Structure 1
Amino acid sequence: MNIFSAEQFYQADAITIQKQELGPTDLMERAGVQVFNWLHSRMHGAQVPVRIFCGIGNNGGDGLVLARHLIQHGYNVHTYVVNCSDKRSKNFLINYDRVKQVTKKWPTLITSEDGFPEIHKDDVVVDAIFGIGLNRCMDGWVKAMVQHLNAAGAFILAIDMPSGLYANAPIEDPEAVVKANHTLSFQLPKLSFFMPSTGIFTNTWEAIDIGLDPEFVMTQPPIATLLHKQHILSWYQPREKYSYKGTFGHSMIVGGSLGKMGAVVLATRAALRAGSGLATAHVPKCGLGVLQTAVPEAMASCATEDSFLDAIPLEATHTYGIGMGMGMEDGSLAALDQFLETQEAPVLLDADALNLLASKKELYAKIPPQSVLTPHPGELKRLLGDWTDDFDKLQKAQAFAVEHQVVLLIKGAHTCICTPQGTLINSTGNPGMATAGSGDVLAGMITGLMAQGYPSWQAAAMGVYLHGSSGDIAVQQLGYQALLASDIIDNIGNAFIKLFEVEQPPQQQEEEAQ
């Protein structure tokens, strides 16, 4: 599913209206009807007060279309116009008049805090104040209006996006943004749904089809793409009957230091669970016994030093995942430098390998093209430098991926996979995965997928998606607090199986749950 900028959505609207020969309000009517259908299918005529707060632009017009259809179907509707300016869009005015034609209870104008209605926690609030057209932070009594809605404790449904958010830019004032329980985004999601500082303003979202021109939607280069199961299935490489372990590659996990052998254990196990036919862990001498005991399926080799790595063997047929628990010894930096000097195939660089790179930035030029970098937030900052906000961070990460021709991850609730061709945003995972060793598991999974012959960017995207899916399966059994990194490994197989399960339509799921 593509993610567009606000400017692209404006283009999509204009092209749709032109190509489909729509009247000035036809697209707005279509959008409002889709929101009505969604709400009607869940409320079934219930007389719960529905309080619709409309701005005076096109988002408010969408809200007025919804109000009219709810009124015509006998719902208990209360419509309010947040009269924040003397400028009104033409489509808003047309739909304002249409509402007045179907009810004697005309929309209530709100012009100050004195006009704020009482909202009960059992009401349904519809936020149609501002959409993608918002170009400044809300202030004054309009900001107070937003705070009034947020404080009511009612269910808030946002039309297209929560008022106060921008589609693809940071917010100035978090106190001036509606906190929606659910958002119905027109056609496609917005980038702000997935950034940590802005995604908190909608608990859940779904895209509803308003019939935007399909050619534009399919051919317009997106600012990002939301990663879904269909992507993974399209890349999945089935196993041939007469294959053997050598068919599926050899992962070389390089890392560990005194007291940090667990990271290599997790990564090696994950590489094998992800399908790598063979795996070797290259560790300091102190870790040799640990690895051969903890991961009997893997081979192990060791450096000459006892407590840290001072050499990385070069094997042309192996796929390398380097850095887990590696430490920051000068000898390890020299070993990494020497390895990168001669390595040509893509590698995965994680944890301390990235910290070592950041300490000697001239090594960036030695990173093999299409390598995968998997930093945590602190390591990412050492690579990129400071950023001003989540959107700036994404731009800098994407620029880094293009400049160095690598795949760079921004790990988090919606991990971003920045590739030289563009950005993918993950849709799986949960807060229970914020636990020690989770990143080591991810690095091992990606290494194992690269070893099987998946292109680096596909291996990174598949690894991130399956890693999150494994965590989602595990958390159903254990809960957020009890989830361990090894539980993620134990469910990698279940995540692969889940790829091939037939998903039920949402309505059927709801019926069976009842």
Structure 2
Amino acid sequence: MLPLLTAAQIREADAHTIATEAVSSIDLMERASKAWVSWFINHFQDKRQSITVYCGTGNNGGDGLAIARLLSEHGYQQLNVKIARFSEKFSDDFTTNRQRLQPLSIPVRELPAGYQTLTENSDIIIDALLGSGLNKPLSGDFDRLVTYLNSLNKTVVAVDVPTGIFTEGDIEEESTILKADLVITFQQPKINFLLPESGDYIMCWETVNIGLNEDFIQSLQSPYQWVEERDIKKMLIPRKRFSNKGTYGHALLIAGQAKTMGAALLCSSACVYAGAGLTTACIPESGLTALNSYQAEVMAIVRREYELPDLELSKFTTLGIGPGLGKNEDALALLQYILNEYDKPIVVDADALNLLAAHPRLLEQLPAGSILTPHMKEFDRLFGEHKTWWQRLQTLKQKAQELNICIVLKNAYTITATPSGILYFNSSSNAAMATGGMGDVLTGIITALLAQKYSPEEACLIGVFLHGKAGDELALPNRLQVVLPGQVAARVPVSIARLV
């Protein structure tokens, strides 16, 4: 796992690298600027485009001055630099790079505090104003400058962090933040890049390795972790030659009503494709024909109205409950029955989550290691309204620990919270997967992994990654704008085969 660091921890990693590798801070800045420029010149190859580099007077501004010099050396001639000198403070490395820039014929303009006029005509704006050290909202001259730059609708490429955004902490509504088409960030994504509020300000981001000491980064024991493909490869267990269906468990999925059988079909189908040895769906009698037609490999237990089904819970390795289940008295009685009679980890989704929200005392009855899979609105129904995603992260961590469960909070970078207090951000998936039923497929995948004796934490991390990976393999090669949940479910075996 790649630890995701706070701004303070990033400064620690910088300082440790400088101290242990006998590299000066200005040389580390040069290393970072070269990595940044290497990515930039491979993707902005038209050297006739005009570029303005906006620099503050701290180390982010020093990066910007070094980037301007390096771009000039690579043949970009229509360059100019504007320095926001809104205070008398400046870093030593900024001063050094300012001196290094002087012999070149790059126009430099300083914007003093209270500057009166500014006209920007360049095609590309490189943002090196403030970087990761920001700890309060923009105000005064910076607020005015960023507001002006946002009004131009230029292509903006940010150095490490867009001006005005915090690397972690609350992103408040109405914040003044420079909107970036691209952020080329150093070493690793910043935590706030992975939260939905950043989508208003960051179209996309890329990381460049600047050679910070990885052992030291690991030693910082960040509670925020980035899950990559290599991590999932280590977790997945190849099937053995003399295994059989009993080896891979028996999953029960309690889902669907007459008008919401699609959810039951999708989650039970995904459970089969994700490798459960046996899958049984507990569905209403009216859905039996649909199930047999859609996925012949799924067995059925019929639910009748006003009756608890005879489930023989002891024969099931695990179960998932909720997709399309409804929120009526029958559904509530069934959920209560499960919580009273079943002591193994279960997966709770959709309508079952809403029942827990309406009857919060039931949360205390969840078996240890159970998994909740809410989207944002379901999460807030369960645990109260939140103004920001940063607040949700703190609640997410707290509730997973308090209840001794895993919580999968779904979004573009789905976050899994574990009882140990770690929050894992997923690195797969894409916007083509934003369609109804995709969460039902995820429920089926995670339930299948639990059935196969993966731990709850492993089932969440593998399941979320596989779900997104299957969607990526379908959408990205052909630039599809939409992939369907059933397609994702059917793709899962291929995605697994590419990882084991």
TM over 0.5, shorter chain: yes
Q: Which amino acid letter does the alignment assign opposite residue 99 of structure 1? A: L
| Separation (CA, whole Å) in 1 of partners of 2:293 and 2:173 | 54
SS at match of 1:302: strand
What amino acid sits opposite 1:442 in the alignment?
Answer: L
Q: Which residue of structure 1 lines up, in the alignment, with residue 401 of structure 2?
A: 402
Deviation at 1:152, TM superposition (A): 3.1
Residue pair 2:270, 2:442 contacting (<8 A) in 1 also: yes
Q: After the TM superposition, which residues 21-170 of structure 1 pair with which residues of structure 2 at under 5 Å, given as runs?
A: 21-42=22-43, 46-76=47-77, 77-100=79-102, 102-105=103-106, 107-111=108-112, 112=114, 114-120=116-122, 123-170=123-170
The match for 2:281 is: 281
TM-superposed CA distance for 1:58, in Å, is: 1.0
Describe the shift of the 1:473–1:247 C-alpha distance in structure 2 as closer, same or farther (beyond 3 A): same
Distance 2:481 2:307 in 1: 32
Give the superposition deviation at 1:164: 0.8
The residue number in structure 2 matching 1:508 is: none
Other structure's SS at 1:222 match: coil
Specify the code of the residue in structure 2 equivalent to 1:409.
Answer: V
Give me the whole-angstrom Cα distance separating, in 2, the residues matched to 1:143 and 1:99.
27
Distance 2:262 2:76 in 1: 59
- SS of the aligned residue for 1:156 comes to strand
Distance in 2 between residues matched to 1:173 and 1:280, nearest whole Å: 46
Q: How far 1:351 moved relative to its partner?
A: 1.2
Equivalent residue for 2:440?
A: 440
Once the two structures are TM-superposed, the CA of residue 195 in structure 1 deviates from its matched residue by 0.5
Cα drift, residue 73 of structure 1: 4.2
Partner of 2:180: 180
Q: 1:403 to 1:128 in 2, by over 3 A?
A: same
Higher relative contact order at CA 8 Å, sep ≥6: structure 1 or structure 2? 2
Q: Deviations over 1:215-257 (max 9, x none)?
A: 2112221232222211111111111112111111111111222
Change (3 A) 1:93 1:308: farther
Q: Which moved more, 1:266-275 or 1:287-296?
A: 287-296
Residue matched to 1:384: 383
Task: Give, in whole Å, the separation in 2 of the partners of 1:288 and 1:41.
Answer: 56
Residue matched to 1:16: 17
CA root-mean-square deviation: 2.3
Aligned residues with identical type, % of pairs: 34
Kindly state the Cα deviation for residue 299 of structure 1 after the two structures are TM-superposed: 0.9
Show structure 2 runs of 5+ residues with no match: none
- In structure 2, relative to structure 1, the CA distance for the partners of 1:70 and 1:378 (3 Å cut) is closer
In structure 1, stretches of 5+ residues that fail to align are: 501-514
The Cα shift of 1:170 comes to 2.3
CA contact (8 A) 2:172 2:388 kept: no
1:407 partner letter: C
Once the two structures are superposed, what CA deviation does each residue of 1:359-402 show, in whole Å capped at 9, x if it has no partner?
A: 22222221111111112222211211111201001110111111
User: Equivalences for 1:288-307 in 2 at 5 Å?
Assistant: 288-303=288-303, 305-306=304-305
The answer to whether 1:372 aligns with 2:354 is: no
Separation in 2 of the partners of 1:144 and 1:90? 26
Once the two structures are superposed, what CA deviation does each residue of 1:33-66 show, in whole Å capped at 9, x if it has no partner? 2223333445568243221110111100111111
With the length of structure 2 as denominator, give the TM-score of the two structures.
0.93
Q: How many Å separate the matches in 2 of 1:490 and 1:393?
A: 32
Query: Number of paired residues?
Result: 496
Please say if residues 345 and 371 of structure 2, whose CA atoms lie closer than 8 Å, have aligned partners that are also in contact. Answer: yes
Instruction: State the alpha-carbon separation in 2 of the partners of residues 161 and 105 from structure 1.
Output: 24
- Cα drift, residue 307 of structure 1: 7.4
Q: Which deviates the most, 201-210 or 51-60?
A: 201-210
Change (3 A) 1:376 1:308: farther
8 Å contact kept, 2:34–2:67:
yes
* 1:278-313 C-alpha deviation (Å, 9 max, x unpaired): 11111233333332333211111123x237866654
Cα deviation code 1:437-487 (max 9, x no counterpart): 111111011111111111111111111111112222333588766532212
* Worse overlay, 315-324 or 66-75: 66-75
Structure 1 pair 40–439 and aligned structure 2 pair: CA distance change class (3 A): closer
Structure 1: how far apart are the matches of 2:281 and 2:73? 68
Match of 1:506 in 2: none
Looking at structure 1, the residues matched to 328 and 42 of structure 2 have their Cα atoms a distance apart, in angstroms, of: 62
CA 288–11 in structure 1, closer or farther in 2 if over 3 Å, else same? same
TM-score by length of 1: 0.90
